[in-house]
Amino acid sequence: MRILPLLLTRQFSGQFCLWSAVLIFGAANSVTRKLTEIGANNFVDGKNPISFCNVLFVGNLCALLVLTIVYRRQLRLSRLRQISQELWLNLSVTSVMSSAIAPGLIFHALAITNVNNVVLIGRLEPPLTLAFSIWLLGQKVNLLEISGAIVSFIGVFLTISLPTNFQNMMEMKGLFSLGTGEIFTAIASVFLAISTIINKAKLAQVPLGVYSIYRTALGTGVFFFAALFLYGSNHFMHVFSPFLWKWMLIYGPVIVVVGQSCWIAGLRATSISQASLIGSFTPVAAVIAAYLILGEAPTLAQYTGGAVIFIGIVISQFGISRSLTQIQQSPNNSTVKLREIESEVGFKGM
């Protein structure tokens, strides 16, 4: 008789953790932009100490610390030796794409375009992942998943094609306002989708902890040296600035540590379908956070495109829940599905 209350309590706490993580991850882009704006008003030696590169680098280090503590038992040498060289190679490729190239493009996009566009155009990732899964992996999906992906893709198209207000719409001005930031976001979505496909096809046998830690560590290292090569040896000269760390002690523990910890705890205490459903609300949280933190009210194009994207997400969730009931959840399938949920959540600030 005591088992049922314990299960209900565990389910509730798991869902609470997931919702908390979604709210935190949704605010990540807006908080990042706000911090860089603060840094721009407090230059050190003529440079912004809270640059996007510094935030991404330090945020990744915080994430790596959390992941190492949580998954430390999976880092035993005996378990690592069981992973073949081919798996390490595939894991390295997907790590560079998902944890170095894509975040770098997204952070650069945040520097030159508004947050809502980055969030909404970033929703290209789930439809692209589904399309690549059908095309390259021959994955069988139901009609609802396909319909949801198509609707979401239309929503992204509306976001970049419609004018920003009614007057411009009446005068047919401002159509296809696709800037550099939007292009970078779309390219990042392609890289993330390809990374997910490699993950599904080649990395089902890699433990979730090893996957997460290695991806974060390698991605951070590659990003660090790539930034030094592109921007010069002085690019990270303020990474230990007291002014930077004063704000990173907020960003790191809250956005990365608390967010990632809640996410992991929620995944462990809930079903995959619940995690997928709750994670799909991250774009909504991101748009609300952009308004509350940055005062960035959605434009007509963003309202219209966002509404269509949300409808697509709802349709997709019905399809995903149906497909999950038809899949016999082996440990490998569960691990892959948990990683696929990352694309539902989108960019998590690191």
Reduce the DSSP state of residue 319 to 3 states and report it: helix
- pLDDT above 90 as % of the chain: 15
CA distance 185 to 187: 5
CA distance 254 to 103: 19
> Is the pLDDT at 115 greater than 70, yes or no?
yes
Determine the straight-line distance between the first and last CA of the chain, rounded to whole angstroms. 43
pTM summary value? 0.84
Reduce the DSSP state of residue 81 to 3 states and report it: coil
Average pLDDT score over residue span 225-252: 84
CA distance 317 to 341: 11
Give the model's pLDDT for residue 343: 62
Reduce the DSSP state of residue 269 to 3 states and report it: helix
Which residue is associated with the tokens 């001005």? 173
Mention every residue, 6+ apart, whose C-beta is less than 8 A from residue 154.
308, 312
* Domain residue limits, the chain: 13-345
Give the model's pLDDT for residue 45: 80
Helix axes 208-231, 102-112, angle to 10 degrees: 50
Which residue is associated with the tokens 């349709």? 315
CA 325 to chain centre: 26
Average pLDDT score over residue span 85-94: 93
Reduce the DSSP state of residue 209 to 3 states and report it: helix
Q: Which residue has the higher pLDDT, 272 or 329?
A: 272
- Write out the DSSP string of 25-78: HHHHHHHHHHHHHHHHTS-BTTB-TT-HHHHHHHHHHHHHHHHHHHTGGGG-HH
Which residue is associated with the tokens 């390698």? 218
